Structure 1
Amino acid sequence: MNPDPQHPRRGALALRLLALAAVAGLGAALTFGYLGRLHFAFDSFSHLRLHFAALLLLLVPALAALRFRAEALFALALGLAAPIQTVLFPPGVEIAEAEAGRATYRLMHLNLRYDNATPEAFLSLVGRTRPDAITLTEVSEPWAARLALIEAAYPYRIVCERPTFIGGAAILSRRPFVEGSPPSCGNRGAFAHASVDFGGRGIEIVALHMGWPWPFEQPWQIPRLEPLLGEVGESAIIAGDLNAVPWSHAARRLAAAADARILRGAGPTWLDRRLPAALIGWIGLPIDNIMVKGGIVAGEPTTLEDVGSDHLPMMLEFSLAPAREPVETVVANSE
């Protein structure tokens, strides 16, 4: 039986087509992520932008070994361009250092996870770090009872009830709420809003929890959150589990509604516990985000130790810019 001389050629062609399909598929997924303004379905791709880019870069050595030079160069260019544009040159990020002598404060944010099996780890972290204010999501009924244990340290609070078992948003504060500005809940308990007195100045704090990207809740939830964010005052901190990365159209749309800027630099905050421990930090997603506006002089947010949730706690140190002095208007005498 004579060997088929066309067999090696057919094998090489199939391999080339497979390589082309992999590069084209990942390239398309990357491109779709930049079209979120057109439809929420495209925006869903943006959350995995860095993962798609990493897969393209992993393909480069294999493509080069197979002498698929054009495909290798395309994968290399696209795999490098996406993370450089997204991570190294993010739009609208302002990180500042507090001036010497100016009072500094700290805000902690965490998605507690409604069924967290180690609530004492979070309570211990709060006791050790003593943030001035805490924003929380997934405050389920069991969590609401446990948070009562730190009520003496955080007597000013609002816990929003949500008609689901995962619970709602909450704000806890060591500092009093501004008199005459009662805290409020919105979006079926996913939005908590309070005005907190920081050294005689009222700073508005928001805790929010968005649903999952398309085809889940985000497309109908965002239009309901935008009016609530539009009512947030001149100086505010908005923290929440957005289920959206900061460069997504969904996150940027919320920031635009509040006229706020998204702080970057904390790294992945959501961790899939099914992954090997060595990979969790690399494959996680930065879907917990903090936004600031007005007179908030914000540092770079950081992540803290694991406390049993599938999210990491975040800490933001900030200070307040000097209050604007009222401008006296002098009316000239017309006589």
Structure 2
Amino acid sequence: MLVTFLIITVTFAILTMLPLSRHEAWWIRGLDFPRLQLFLALLFTLALELSLLDLSSKQTWGLVAVALACLVYQAWWIVPYTRIFPREVKAANNSDSRGRIRIITANVLMTNRNAKVLFALIREFQPDILVTLESDLWWQSQLDILETDYPYTIKCPLDNLYGMHVYSRFPMMNSQIEYLVEPDKPSMHALVLLPSGHKVRVHFLHPAPPSPTENNESSERDAELVIIAKSVAETNVPVIVTGDLNDVAWSETTRLFRKISGLLDPRVGRGMFNTFHADYWFLRWPLDHLFHSKHFMLQSIKRLRSFGSDHYALFTELVLTADTNNEHNGLDADADDLAWAKRKTEDQNVDKSAVPQPEKHSVA
């Protein structure tokens, strides 16, 4: 039995240690995803070791120490996405509808044909902006019925799982579709005019994941996130970045994005809001994200019910505020972070100058 637990504990130790490397191979970066599952498996293993092994043996306590160290390390990453951690974004203390913006971010799954269920969610939650990922021409033909209520649109139907559409009640200015890193992976950029008269810079993203069927490494995804982060860090305009980033909230690369951009994650201190995989409860993690600048507070964030996709949709309601309670929240970048970000952009030969800055061309 000791040998069995030795093999199990060493395996968990390897799975825990591999992501410490910044190697971008898909099979290493993929281990960033199941930290919650690894935490629970380690907790179960630790309980079994304490229950079944000889506690007078030094070998037993060696295994317990290794399992406990791995458990604590995995917990360090996921605890911020639980309610025991301080909230990064303060709750909105007013309901000023003129400064409010409600967004549904939905990876629809290109082959999914349950558009009616998505429309029911739209009617129920009344977003001001709907952004869809994986939407092709069939989805566009269904979504165009929304234009009566959502007259401002950006459309990029594709049949490669990277189509995108945005439908907005609010005026969108200087809208652009760009292919920042890969020639078939679009992103969308615009300036949204709120009823209050304030302008919000928005970026909608869906970079490809590191996987054996997509990119062998995470370098393309990471480079896109870094140049977006560097670009928004230089503006004083309120910013929202949302989409399926094909990276988990607790990964080192998502943390790098937050450090470089200065954007906040409203899930910190509130929950994981795991949006993928909708069909397998035991394999879920937060892939769909919304980050925002310190100009906003949070009114509401919800994972919506299933609509036939392999992703759940994410609903986020923000309120633009002059309150400075968020001013000192978030993550700070150090010299190592900046150097690492620079290496990622140089690896893909991309630069923040490629990212549209819609506020620079707006009409006052």
- Quickly name the TM-score band, shorter chain normalised: 0.7 to 0.9
Displacement, 1:203? 0.6
Paired residues of 2:304 and 2:314 also in contact (CA < 8 A)? yes
Q: CA deviation at 1:299?
A: 4.3
Which TM-score applies when normalising by structure 2? 0.74
Name the structure 2 match of 1:9.
none
- Return the letter of the residue paired with 1:173: S
Q: How many residues align?
A: 300
Partner amino acid, structure 2, of 1:268: N
Q: 1:301 is paired with a residue of what secondary structure?
A: strand
Report the CA distance between 1:161 and its aligned residue: 4.1
Number of the residue aligned with 1:58: 44
Deviates more, 1:132-141 or 1:42-51: 42-51
2:14 matches 1:20:
no
Q: Partner of 2:172: helix, strand, or coil?
A: coil
- 2:15 aligned residue: 29
Partner-residue secondary structure (3-state), 1:139: coil
Of 92, 97, 104 in structure 1, the residue corresponding to residue 91 of structure 2 is 97
Which residue in the other structure is 1:3 paired with?
A: none
Cα deviation for residue 322 of structure 1 reads 2.7
3-state DSSP of counterpart to 1:182: strand
For 1:175, what is the secondary structure of its paired residue? coil
Q: Does 1:213 align with 2:206?
A: no
- Greater RCO, 1 or 2 (C-alpha within 8 Å, sep 6+): 2
State the distance in 2 between where 1:229 and 1:311 align: 25
1:260 to 259, 263, 266: 263
In structure 2, the partner of 1:332 is none
- 8 Å Cα contact 1:271/1:284 also seen in 2: yes
Shift of 1:255: 3.1
- Post-superposition offset of 1:189: 4.3
Deviates most, 312-321 or 232-241? 232-241
The gaps in structure 2 that reach 5 residues or longer are: 325-364
Partner of residue 275 from structure 2, selected from 269, 285, 290: 269
- Letter of the structure 2 residue corresponding to residue 94 of structure 1: E
Given the alignment of the two structures, is residue 87 of structure 1 paired with residue 78 of structure 2, yes or no?
Answer: yes
Q: How much does 1:230 deviate?
A: 3.3
User: Aligned partners of 1:261 and 1:56: how far apart in 2?
Assistant: 30
Matches of 2:7 and 2:224, distance apart in 1:
40
- How far apart are the structure 2 equivalents of 1:85 and 1:54? 13
CA–CA separation in structure 2 for the residues paired with 1:266 and 1:29: 21
- Give me the whole-angstrom Cα distance separating, in 2, the residues matched to 1:272 and 1:133: 22
1:183 matched to which residue of 2?
176
- The offset of 1:20, in angstroms, is 0.7
Structure with max Cα Rg: 1
Distance (whole Å) between structure 1 residues aligned to residue 254 and residue 319 of structure 2: 24
In structure 1, runs of 5+ residues without a counterpart are: 1-14, 325-335
Within 1, Cα distance between the matches of 2:307 and 2:114? 7
Residue 89 of structure 1 deviates from its aligned partner by 3.8
2:243 and 2:288 in contact (8 A); partners too: yes
Q: Percent identity among equivalent residues?
A: 20
Partner Cα separation in structure 1 for residue 258 and residue 86 of structure 2: 11
AA aligned to 2:287 is I
Seen in structure 2, the aligned counterparts of structure 1 residues 284 and 225 have a Cα distance that, compared at 3 Å, is closer
Q: TM-score, normalised by structure 1?
A: 0.80
Residue 295 of structure 1: aligned partner:
295
Q: C-alpha distance in 2, partners of 1:122/1:101?
A: 26
Q: Which 10-residue stretch deviates more, 165-174 or 196-205?
A: 165-174
